Chain A
Amino acid sequence: MRLKIVQQFPDFEERIDFLFQNDENFRDLCSDYDLCTSMILQRKIAEHKNKAEINEYETLQLILKEDIIKVLQSQT
């Protein structure tokens, strides 16, 4: 999961490493983001018919991404 987050935010690698080591809330946030991403992927692969559900997950994914950015930028 750490790798996926670093791939998403390559400019913050050091900060991500620090937070992964020291901040369980940040790990949970990344874990939720990862889970959300996999939910979207699963539904797209399965050609899920409920577009509203995919939209809901995509909105959630954006919110979580913003939250991650907020944490990453908070001490830099």
Chain B
Amino acid sequence: MPDNAAENHILLNYSKQDILKELDCILNSELFSRTAVLCNFLKFIVEETLEGHTHSLKEYTIAVSALGKSVDFNPQTDAVVRIHAGRLRRLLNEYYLQPGITDSIKIEVIKGTYVPVFRTQVIEKSTEDLREKTTTVVNDTVVYSRSRLTLAVLPFRNLLPNKDYQFFVDGFGEELTRVFSTSEDLDVIAHFSTLKYVANPKDIRVVGSELGVHYVIAGAVKRSAKQIKVSVGLGETVNGMQIWTKDYIHSLEDDEIMDIQDQINNDVFALLSGHYGFIIKDTMRLVEGNMKQDLQAFDAVLWFHHAQLTHSEENFLEAIKGLEKTLENDPNNVMCLSILGDLYLSSYSMGYTVEDPINKANLYIEKAIRIAPLSQYAHMERGWAHIHLGKKKEAIESLKYSEQLASPSFSPSTMGGLGFAYSCVGEYKCSHALLQAALNLNPYCPWWYYVGLFFGFYHNGQYEEAFKYAQKMNASEDVYVIPLLMVAVKGQLGMVLEARVEINILNKKFPEILANLGMYLNSFILDRSLVEEIILGLKKAGLQLH
């Protein structure tokens, strides 16, 4: 074989005829000739991809067009496409370990997508090795881990004249890898594993497949006489698209070079990481329709993020159900345990129907801490559990410890979560500083960041400011807190007529919460004077409370 045989290439390097020829080889093989369903499946997705119709490669289309299902096929209740896709993936693996082992093109169906990938097959083994390999087919299959969102930071390109500042350019890959490795939401590939791409740059779809990553960060450094420009981009490996990019331009005279690097790295981390960062936001596209029945930890965590953004009761309950199911297979998954703690506690404070939420949350959180004593997220949730139990001192201790664990790589999501929690225990100054810092770093935030800021201003009697933040709150109609706070602040501002809309919503949709309002508010606001001030505002607006 030629030396470059180990190099991988994607679609662009082949003609349609090459790929259709490989498809024919597969379909005519003994393995595939036994199963017409999988032949039709593979033929359909390959041909559609070659025609550029990758967006139509959804379960429904495959069921109707390739598997002969009727037009009323419902992918939410019928898992046949998903099951066949798994079979197809495994059969292709088997094909390339046996009869197709010498084929030059490899067609793959990577988990998480129905769009096939076309690559040059790596053939480096001697004939004897190959013979040996064919006898151990099933035990040496390619594994793509998709149980967590995974990221790789590629070495930045040095576009400086005379290769100046190489240490500065190299530092980006290493530092960003280190910073992102502190995130509990993402797995990050060791930077050393990405260094091979310096001399041998590849299509990011190939990089994604080789490293098993969903996203890659790449960048380049340039300079003019007085300025240095660093371009950073985020690419999605499944479809090879660049989905985010930002240029950082700094004067070389004003700043120390390493400070520039720290500033850029912190900004990239702030924008991309965390529950409300760009990566999770982009991944939300995968959460569509009803929850699938073959939920994995990966999907369940996405559903949690979805529930966090909408705060609808249905999404909360579905996320709880899905995460508990994934725990059956993966009982020591710290992220799932912490998230379940979070969901049960949030459900309790929102008045959603869940059984024994505090005790269940405590069980999950304490187990998470036993397994991972340094989990920042689990300690923050322990703080929340103390808040719900009315233990202010213990809550502050846990929140402070969580804050300590989060630094120095403090993502805006973590800042926001802690900031809101501090506002609920009455630590308004601390809360304000964290929430403002989080908003400065990433203006895309959940509605409850504004609740934290609202509490601080409302408590200080700055009702105009509080009203400003109440207007920014936007969540599912299941959330009683938003109309409630709006009525309270309108009451304090004398906007009695304007408060009628929200009063009607509260009376119509949340009579049970109004009947026990003190209990609900005290369940997550430990500053009793704030609760009294909110109730006063409600009464001033004309809301009848029992």
Contacts and interface: CB of A to CB of B under 8 A. Distances in A.
User: What 3 pairs across the A-B complex have the smallest Cβ distances?
Assistant: A32-B86, A35-B294, A24-B143
Contacts of A31: 86, 294, 296
A14 interface: no
A35 B293 contact: yes
Contacts of B328: 1
A71 B142 CA distance: 15
Contact of A28 (B78, B111, B137): B111
A39 B75 CA distance: 12
Contact of A25 (B82, B90, B136, B293): B90
A36 B90 contact: no
Nearest to B93: A25
A23 interface: yes
Contact of A71 (B80, B111, B138, B145): B138
A24 B142 CA distance: 9
A57 interface: yes
B138 A36 contact: no
Interface string B128-143: 0000000011110101
Interface of B: 78-80, 82-84, 86-87, 89-90, 93, 111, 136-139, 141, 143-145, 147, 293-294, 296, 328-329
A67 B143 contact: no
B138 A74 contact: yes
B82 A35 contact: yes
Interface in A10-58: 23-25, 27-29, 31-32, 34-36, 38-39, 53, 56-57
Contacts of A67: 87, 90
A20 B213 CA distance: 21
A74 B139 contact: yes
Given A1-B328, A25-B143, 7 more contacts: A2-B329, A23-B141, A25-B141, A39-B78, A56-B80, A70-B138, A74-B138
Given A60-B80, A60-B83, A38 B141 contact: no
B90 A24 contact: no
B296 to A, nearest CB: 7
B294 A32 contact: yes
A12 B319 CA distance: 33
Contacts of A36: 79, 83
Given A1-B329, A71-B138, A74-B139, A24 B144 contact: yes
Contacts of A34: 294
A38 B293 contact: yes
A30 B138 CA distance: 15
Contacts, number: 59
Contacts of B147: 24
Q: Which of B80, B147, B296 has the most CB of A within 10 A?
A: B80
A60 B82 CA distance: 12
A34 B89 CA distance: 17
A23 B93 CA distance: 14
Contacts of A25: 90, 93, 141, 143
Contact of B83 (A27, A32, A75): A32
A62 interface: no
A14 B82 CA distance: 28
Contacts of B90: 25, 28-29, 67
25 contacts: A1-B329, A2-B329, A24-B144, A24-B145, A24-B147, A25-B93, A25-B141, A25-B143, A28-B86, A28-B111, A29-B86, A29-B90, A31-B86, A31-B294, A34-B294, A38-B293, A39-B293, A53-B78, A57-B80, A60-B83, A67-B90, A71-B138, A74-B136, A74-B138, A74-B139
Nearest to A73: B138
A24 B87 CA distance: 14
B87 A63 contact: yes
Nearest to B325: A1
A28 B294 CA distance: 10
Contacts of B145: 24
Contacts of B138: 70-71, 74
B83 A35 contact: yes
B181 to A, nearest CB: 22
Contacts of A28: 86, 89-90, 111
Contacts of B93: 25
Nearest to B77: A42
Contacts of A2: 329
B332 to A, nearest CB: 12
Contacts of A71: 138
B131 to A, nearest CB: 17
A63 B89 CA distance: 15
A20 to B, nearest CB: 8
B242 to A, nearest CB: 28
B430 to A, nearest CB: 43
Nearest to B296: A31
Contacts of B111: 28
Q: Which of B79, B80, B138, B145 has the most CB of A within 10 A?
A: B138
Contacts of B144: 24
Q: Which of A1, A2, A25, A38 has the most CB of B within 10 A?
A: A25
A39 B79 contact: yes
A35 B181 CA distance: 34
Nearest to A38: B293
A61 to B, nearest CB: 9
